[in-house]
Structure 1
Amino acid sequence: MTELGAGQVAARVPASRATRALPIRAELIRQLKRRRTQGIFIVLVLLPLILILAFWLGSDESGSATGARTFVDLAQDSGANLTVFTMFASTGFLLIVIVALFTGDTVPSEASWSSLRYLLAAPVRRERLLRQKIIVAAISSVVALIFLPAWTLVVGGIAYGWGPYVGPTGEQLPLGTFVGRLAIIVCYCLISLLVVGSFAFLLGVWTDAPLAAVGGAVLLMILSAILDSIPALGDIRQGLPGHYAFDWADALSPTIDFSDMVTGALWSIGYAVVLTTAAFWHFLRKDITS
C-alpha cells in the first residue's frame, strides 16, 4: 500500500473511529511488554543494590583526610545520602539514556517493524499517533525517574539507616524534609531532560533506525558536556543543553536558591517546544515508506 493508499483508506473511515484508535492504555500495555522497557527497569532495580555491594566490597578510605567530603564519601551515611549519590552518578549519563530510549525509539521502532504504514491505515491520524507515542514515552520516563530515587531510598534506608541527609559542608536535612526536597529534585530532572526527550523524538521521526535516534540524543548531550567544559566559550555555555543539569543540588541547601534551576528549566522547556514542534511539522508532511 502506498502513502496515498493509506490516506485514502483513512479518509473513508469515520472520524469517530480515527479518534478512538491507538488508545493510551493499549499503547502503555504494549510498551510495558517490550524488552527495552523491562530491561530499563531491571537496571533501575539492580543499580542501588550494586552500589551497596560495591561500597561493601570497597575500602573505608574517604576524602575526609583532606578535610573535604563528597557525595561518594557520604553515600553510606544514610539512605538519603545513598539516594543523592545515585542521582548524582546517574544524571550525567544513565538518565539521559533512559529518556532517549523511551522517546527516541517509539516512532522508528514502528517503522523497523514495518507497522507504521499499517497504523496510519488503521486508521490513526498522524497527529494522534505522535501525540499518543509522546504521551506514553513521557509517562514511562516519569515513572522511571520517580522509581529510581524512591527505590534507592528504600534500599539505602534498610542498608544504612533512616538518618538525615548530611551534605558535604555538614548541613543536615531531616528525613521528612529530605523527601520533600527529593520531589523537587525529581521534578527538576524531568524538566531538565525535556531537551533530551524532544531531540530524540525529533530524530525518531526523521529516521527509521531506533539506534540512530537514541544515539543521536545521547551524542548531543556528550558534545554539549564537552563544549561546556571550555571556559573560553564564556556565557555561551549557559545556552548549551545540560549546562544546568546538576543544579538540582541547590535543593539540598538549608535554604533553596531556585535561580539556577529556573534558568535551566526555561532553557530546557524552550528547546523542547521548538524541537517537538519541528517533529510534528516534519511527520505530518513525511512520506511513509516503511
Structure 2
Amino acid sequence: MTQLPRPWSPVIRRRSLPLRAEIGRQLRRRRTRGVFVVLVLLPLILIGAFALGDDPNDTGPRGFVDLAQESAANLVVFALFASTSFLLVVVVALFCGDPVPSEASWSSLRYLLAAPVRRERLLRQKLLAAGVFSAAALVFLPAWALLVGGVAYGWGPYVGPTGEQIGWPEFGLRLLLITGYLMVSLLVVGAFAFALGVWTDAPLAAVGGAVLLMILSAILDSITALGDLRQALPGHYAYAWADALAPRVDYSDMATGALWSLGYAVVLVAAAVWHFLRKDITS
C-alpha cells in the first residue's frame, strides 16, 4: 500500500502555492482589473483632451505635450512622460505592496503558512506575481497608447522638441529600451512597497508609504543645495529614459539610474525576507 506524503513533507511544500495559482488569484482581484481599466482610459483621455483644446500658435520651443499630436510615436512618449512620476509609481506600488498585507488583513496569512507553505516560498511567489503584473502594466501602456495614437494621429516618425525625427523601426527599438529602463528604475518602488508590506498588515500603508517615498524624493531632488547627494535619491533618474530619444543615445544616466535602483531593490527585498522569516505571524 502506497503511503501518502505527510503535510510537512518536501513534496507537498514544493507543490504548495504554485505561481499560476497566485497569478490567477491576483488576476481575479478588483484592484488588478481597475489598474488596467485606468491604463486603457489614459490614452483615450489624452486624445479627448487634445481634441477639446485649442492648438496654440506658439513658435517657441515645444515639449512632449506640444508634439503629442504629431504621430502615434509622439503620443506614446507623452503618455509615458505624463505617467512616469506618479501613475506608474502607484501601479507598481499597488501590485508589489498589496499582496502580503492583504493576506494578513483577511486573516488568511497564517493559514497559508499552515498549508504548509514555506515562508520564503510564499514571499517568492508573491513577489514573482507582483513582478509579472507590474511588467505587464508597463508593457501594456505604451503598446495601447501606440495603437490608439496610430488610429488618431497616424504612424509617422517620432518628432523631437528640436525637430529631429526617428523613423520606424528605429523608434520601436528605442521604445523597447525605454520600457526596459522603466521596469528597472521602478524596481526601487516595488521593493520598498514589498518591504513595507512585510512589516505591516495594512495594504494602504504599504502602497501609500512607497508613493510618499517617491514624492518626498522628488521634493528633495528639487533642492539644488544638496548637490551630488541628489543622485542617490530614488527617482532622481526617473526621466533618464528621455536620453533614448536623442539622435545619438546617451546611456550614462540610464546606466547609473539602473544601478541605483537595483542596489536599493536588493537591499530592501533582502531586509523584507530577513524580517518575514523571523516574524511572528498572528494574522
Q: TM class, shorter-chain normalised?
A: over 0.9
Q: Which amino acid aligns with 1:270?
A: G
User: Is 1:47 matched up with 2:47?
Assistant: no
Contact 1:195 1:269 in 2 (8 A): yes
Q: Which string of whole-angstrom CA distances, capped at 9 and with x for unpartnered residues, describes residues 204-232 of structure 1?
A: 00000000000000000000000000000
Deviations 1:43-84 (A, max 9, x none): 00111001000000011116x33x200100000000000000
Aligned residues: 278
1:121 to 114, 125, 129: 114
What letter matches 2:191 in structure 1?
A: S
Contact persistence 1:117–1:289 (CA under 8 A): yes
1:11-64 alpha-carbon deviations (Å, 9 max, x no partner): 9521110111000111111111000000000000111001000000011116x3
1:129-170: per-residue Cα shift (whole Å, max 9, x none)? 000000000000000000000000000000000000000011
- Establish whether residue 59 from structure 1 lines up as the match of residue 54 from structure 2: yes
TM normalised by structure 2 equals 0.97
> What's 1:4 paired with?
none
Which is helix-richer, 1 or 2?
1
Q: TM-score, normalised by structure 1?
A: 0.95
Aligned to 2:68: 75
Q: Does 1:258 pair with 2:259? A: no
Matching residue within 1, 12, 22 for 1:17: 12
User: Aligned pair 1:222/2:228, yes or no?
Assistant: no
Counterparts of 1:135 and 1:227, CA distance in 2: 31
1:150 lines up with 2:143 in the alignment? yes
Q: Which residue of 2 aligns with 1:268?
A: 261
Deviation at 1:175, TM superposition (A): 2.5
In structure 2, which of residues 143, 146, 152 is the aligned counterpart of residue 159 of structure 1?
152
Measured in 2, the distance between the counterparts of 1:56 and 1:139 equals 35
The yes-or-no answer on 1:244 pairing with 2:237 is: yes
Q: Look up the SS of the partner of 1:74 in the other structure.
A: coil
Aligned match of 1:111: 104
> What is aligned with 2:3?
none
Counterpart-to-counterpart distance in 2, 1:165 and 1:12: 58
Mapped contact 2:22–2:129 kept (Cα < 8 A): yes
- Are the aligned partners of 2:174 and 2:244 in contact in 1 as well (CA < 8 Å)? yes
Please list the CA deviations of residues 94-132 of structure 1 after superposition, one character each: whole Å capped at 9, or x if unmatched: 000000000000100000111100000000000000000
Pick the aligned partner of 2:30 from 18, 30, 35: 35
Write the distance in 1 (CA, Å) between the matches of 2:67 and 2:158: 9
1:264 counterpart letter in structure 2: G
Residues 216-261 of structure 1 show CA distances to partners (whole Å, capped at 9, x for unaligned) of 0000000000000000000000000000000100001111110010
The answer to whether the 8 Å contact 2:7/2:116 transfers is: no
Q: Percent of pairs identical after alignment?
A: 72
> RMSD of aligned C-alpha atoms?
0.9
Cα deviation, residue 176, structure 1:
1.2
Runs of 4+ in 1 over 2 A off after TM superposition: none
**Structure 1 stretches of 5 or more lacking a match?**
1-10
Between the aligned partners of 1:220 and 1:277, the Cα distance in structure 2 is 19
* Aligned partner of 1:277 among 262, 270, 273: 270
